[in-house]
Amino acid sequence: MKRLSVVLLLSIMINVSHAQLAIRGETVYTMAGKPLRNAVILVKGGKIEQVLEGAMVKLPEGYKVMEAKVVTPGLVDAHTVVGLTGIFNQKHDQMQLETSEPVQPELRAIDAYNPQEQLIEFVRNLGVTTMHTGHAPGALASGTTIVVKTVGNTIENALMDSGMVAFTFGESVSSNFKSPGTSAKQVAMMRNEFLKAQDYLKRSSSRDPEKRPAPDLRMEMLSRVLLKKTKVLFTAHKATDIMAALRLQKEFGFAMVLDGAAEAYLVVDEIKKSGVSVILHPTMMRAWGDTRNVSFETAAKLKEAGITFALQSGFEGYVPKTRIVLYEAAIAAANGLSFVDALASITINAAKIIGVDNRVGSIEKGKDADLVLFDGDPFEYTTHVCGVVVNGTVVSETCK
């Protein structure tokens, strides 16, 4: 009897996780075309089965019906440290930055991410279903990032994709380490590491086993960067640091995404010419240190220049240790960015930049059924998130 009960319980769990849903929205922003009115999204097997428009659409039998004023794709946080940083702001849940030395690209976010961290549930209940998370800015090379869903009991359940290697230029590096103390020293140290990696690659390709170098985790990761197998996420806020990062990228030819970029509006033409995408700082980032010249209007200026960008929650030193990208996009929309472009910056554009737009970021047939249900305009202060679906499973039905 006990064995039968276990089997029945497992069966119930499977049915719940692969529920058939019919989600009706008065307005549905698919981010794959114009907004739809009185649309129904059919979900089956964890995927979007079909998107139908029209008040007279007949719902199929056997589907759980959910209704909302507005439905959007699950929100995509293009850069955060949630899962490495925790909700309690205590030493045991702050794994986002190792300060024993300034260059450690070999550190893996997959080894530090805690999928059961309460902060993940906090952001998920506010609509974030996908995160690009990992080691924080503050070291020349702080480690790698990962792309995860905000569900799952283990990293294996949550993991979507390997991410990038996180680099930083700026005052935060100098404040965390005795050396480098100046901007010139930061650039010189990183150039030296890439030169070492070039030599490591050359020696590794030798036909003579005796001439090949011993395995070196740091060099292996930098070699992946040089071979364009792994992108660089380069955090730089001041215009001088942004330009230094762009020069380094041009010299060594690695694939790069510019991160932070508080003074991007001062070097828009140079960023445009480089062809790099930008994961812009949170719109409401506090103005101090490297970000003393931050502007609410930078997102709109990047859009006007034709630069691909996304918004992020970033890293905060206060509890609960994170911002919410929904609110950051709302402020960007109030400062020159259109509603649709602001929503794109935390859905489809964010998904494209972090390389998972084949699965998330828009409401299209065959994509993961990640959806957010609102009781009003998503960017209005009085609106609530009243439903969150991840991989076709309803993970929240309480208005937040």
- For 288-315, the pLDDT digits (tens) are 999 999 999 999 999 999 999 999 999 8
Q: Return the structure tokens found at 85.
A: 């940083």
The percentage of residues in the chain with a pLDDT greater than 90, rounded to a whole number, is 90
- Spatial CA neighbour of 235 closest among 260, 252, 216: 260
How much is the pTM? 0.94
What's the rounded Cα separation, in Å, for the pair 318 and 88?
A: 10
Same fold, 2-72+390-396 and 75-360: no
Are the C-beta atoms of residues 182 and 158 closer than 8 Å to each other?
no
Q: What is the pLDDT of residues 182-203, one digit of tens each?
A: 999 999 999 999 999 999 999 9
Distance of alpha carbon 364 from alpha carbon 358, whole angstroms? 10
pLDDT band, very low/low/confident/very high, at 321 (cuts 50, 70, 90): confident
The CATH T-level fold of domain 75-360 is: TIM Barrel (3.20.20)
Q: Please choose, from the candidates 23, 68, 125, 118, the residue with its C-alpha nearest in 3D space to the C-alpha of residue 400.
A: 125
Model confidence band, residue 13 (pLDDT cutoffs 50, 70, 90)? very low
Domain ranges within the chain, ordered by starting residue: 2-72+390-396, 75-360
Judged against a pLDDT cut of 70, whether residue 3 lies above it is answered with no
Dist. CA 185–CA 80, nearest whole Å: 27
pLDDT bracket for residue 1 (50, 70, 90): very low
Give the per-residue pLDDT at 18: 56
pLDDT band with cut points at 50, 70 and 90 for residue 320: confident
CATH code assigned to 2-72+390-396: 2.30.40.10
